[in-house]
Amino acid sequence: MITTALRCGMGRMGVARAAPLRAGVVRSISLSAPRLTEANIASALAEADGEPALPLGRVLDESLSFEPAQRPAQRPIYLDAQATSPVDPRVLDKMMPYFINQYGNPHSRTHAYGWETEAAVDEARAHIAKLIHADPKEIIFTSGATESNNMAVKGVAKFYQSKKNHIITTQTEHKCVLDSCRALQEQGFEVTYLPVDEQGHVSVEDVKNALRPTTSVVSIMTVNNEIGVIQPIREIGELLKTYGADLAKELGRGTPKPFFHTDAAQAVGKIPLDVDACGIDLLSISSHKLYGPKGIGAIYVRRRPRVRMEPLMSGGGQERGLRSGTLATPIVVGFGEAARIAAQDMASDHAHISRLSKRLRDNIMSRVEMVLLNGDANGYPGCTNMTFQYIEGESLLMALNDICLSSGSACTSASLEPSYVLRALGLDDANAHSSLRFGIGRFTTEAEIDFVCEKIVQVVHRLRELSPLWEMVQEGIDLKTIEWSG
């Protein structure tokens, strides 16, 4: 028996919606935290109302120490599910034997150790394929969605470059797709970056107008990682099978249609996906976005009609010759188990996350004015992006140090530039800098959402009291009419 002790100090597991445990898994939770009484809170607010404006550093200190309600955990509350998700305990329990006992190389065909791990890999591949309605032979394991995206965009473009040198994508794709396209541009390829509307949707008509006979691949994300908008994937896939195929015939008989790639890292396991129904030829997945281990992902590559691509790596010819290298059986098995659980729990997960997302939005937006909801309100509910106008974004994040949030993609979090996704929606730099992404997941609880709402409301009101811009807006001054010196 394997006993795995997991300390989940954020209060997600085992509180309101604990995942069922496999035998032998033990989880301990610490929920103790200091609590302010209502009298203390009222007293603190009364004192604040009578004080003159304080230096920003002191206000942040006060905001950080202020506890609007009993915290549901000692560690920071985690609301960054788009960056990564915790490994589901059921997944970890499934993985453990392949670290300790069943450790054979799945490519060793001459003994039992290889056979048993090969069987485990095949089982995992089947679970992942089933999640997107694909054939297991069409699933190629990679290190994650970044590698899968690079394989899809660069691999297809380079294989067909003698006849086709045009690529279509959108301005709001993940950075690895945009950087792959820019790298191809430096090699002589032509790339069209399509705009999106104010909710983040790409227009199917824009895709149609951008298509050429020489278009080799169209790469459009299914669910955006910053704003949760769901793109019209099925309509785009149908367009490429009809109009795109007709255009390709101009280059001669046998020329394939433009291949359709989608980065589905934020979609797989969260919303239903069917690669055949949507006309998808290549699809990228990342395990750690759906409660599996980090360091493993996959790319779906259609076999009929066949998608041909140039491998990024050479080696022993594993994974249909498209991604050589020994598979890491434990994390492959974990990935497969995460996919199995996602298929099983998708409906209940979505209902849970939708309810918490509505609770978050309604609570904050009913109590704080001038808050913008970025993206489509009917997009994926686990990714909620809000702009708190007339607040400096860094101050807001600093004051929320007991909540794990982000202002954009984790892959660009080191940059001081405002989110290019939000700017593509039409937000100016000030509003883009004042935005927060709330990532709600399987193990998020109501208690955490309520605490976050109280803290957000308190901090926003306090920071706005210090903002001269907020004071001017309250006085009815149009900031756009002011000529700033400097």
Q: How far apart are CA 460 and CA 369, in angstroms?
A: 10
Closest C-alpha to 95, from 355, 293, 339, 368: 293
Other CB atoms within a 10 A radius of the CB of residue 313 amount to: 12
Longest dimension (CA), the chain: 80
Q: Which amino acid is at 100?
A: I
Tokens of 82: 């788009």
Taking each helix axis from N to C end, the angle separating 446-466 and 56-65, rounded to the nearest 10 degrees, works out to 160
Q: Which are the contacts of 241, defined by CB distance < 8 A and separation ≥ 6?
A: 257, 279
Q: How far apart are CA 69 and CA 446, in angstroms?
A: 13
Q: How far apart are CA 102 and CA 95, in angstroms?
A: 10
Angle at 342 between CA 78 and CA 408, to 5 degrees: 35
Catalytic annotation on 383? no
Per the residue annotation, which of 176, 278, 411, 453 is the catalytic one? Answer: 411
Q: Which helix (H) or strand (E) holds 372?
A: strand 371-374
Cα-based torsion angle of the residue sequence 224, 229, 230, 233 in order, rounded to the nearest 10 degrees: -70
- Strand, helix or coil at 166? strand
Q: How far apart are CA 208 and CA 215, in angstroms?
A: 11
SS3 content of the chain, % helix, strand, coil (to 5): 40, 15, 45
- Strand, helix or coil at 62? helix
Q: Catalytic residue numbers? A: 411
